[in-house]
A = this chain, B = another copy of it.
Amino acid sequence: MSIVISSFAWVPPFAQGYVKDLRPRWALNEAGLDYSVHILGDGEADSAAYRAWQPFGQVPAYRDDAVTLFESGAILLHIAGKSPALAPRDAQEAALMQAWMFSALNAIEPKVDNLILPGVFHAGEAWVDGFRGPAEALIDLRLKSLSGWLDGRDWLTGRFSVADIVMATVLRGLQEEPVLQRHPRVAAYLDRCLARPGFERALAAQLATFAANAPAA
């Protein structure tokens, strides 16, 4: 089985460690599956060939002997099918795993992005300060619901799964934000996820790619 994921050659320091190829790297580590990295060349992300693989010109795209694929959520569902280390076997639990993947990516990640990204990409614009309050209120509500679910649970389903990988990489964006600390059960869950060796190795691998391709100073 030959597995390839795409990666940018380099991104600015604020994004290093947060690019979404982290998710398949982590999942493949948990599954004990080797992979290689297709590093995008200059202009390749906008090429017709790459757009046929990843229609938005983003990363990660994924390829193995059976399928080519994009979207980290879909890639992780696909990888989960390859390893009992990544998904519950029970049909009810497997369905809940899928539900939590969509929750992480639709109910939660956009609210994290709305809290974090304006200050990164629009610093100094007049609307940014006013938007922060409503954005924080929305993610606070979501974290409250998530905290309720996590009461008595170590993972989103009965065992660690790709849903936890997606959720943890989403919640990581809040590590410097007071709103996360107002939900200690969620913060503890995040710590539990990030303590896994598969995460550490994925993070190191992503950072190594960027270090190897850093622009000349």
Residues of A with Cβ closer than 8 Å to B? 51, 55-57, 66-75, 77-78, 91-92, 95-96, 98-103, 105-107, 109-110, 113-114, 121-122, 125-131, 134, 142, 145-146, 148-149
Contact = CB atoms under 8 A, between A and B. Distances in A.
A99 B69 contact: yes
The main secondary structure of chain A at its interface with chain B is: helix
Nearest to A104: B106
Nearest to A51: B148
B96 A69 contact: yes
A100 to B, nearest CB: 8
Contact of A114 (B106, B114, B125): B114
With most chain B CB atoms within 10 A of its CB, the pick from A99, A101, A126 is: A99
Contacts of A145: 51, 55-57
Copies in the complex: 2
Nearest to A148: B51
Contact of A127 (B57, B105, B127): B127
A142 B56 contact: yes
Given A55-B145, A126-B127, 7 more contacts: A56-B142, A69-B96, A73-B102, A74-B98, A114-B114, A121-B134, A130-B130
Contacts of A128: 127
A134 B110 contact: no
Contacts of A121: 134
A57 B49 CA distance: 43
Contacts of A67: 91-92, 95
A78 B95 contact: yes
Report, nearest first, the 10 A-B pairs whose CB atoms are least far apart.
A127-B130, A110-B110, A73-B102, A127-B127, A71-B102, A74-B99, A74-B98, A105-B106, A71-B99, A55-B149
A92 B62 CA distance: 12
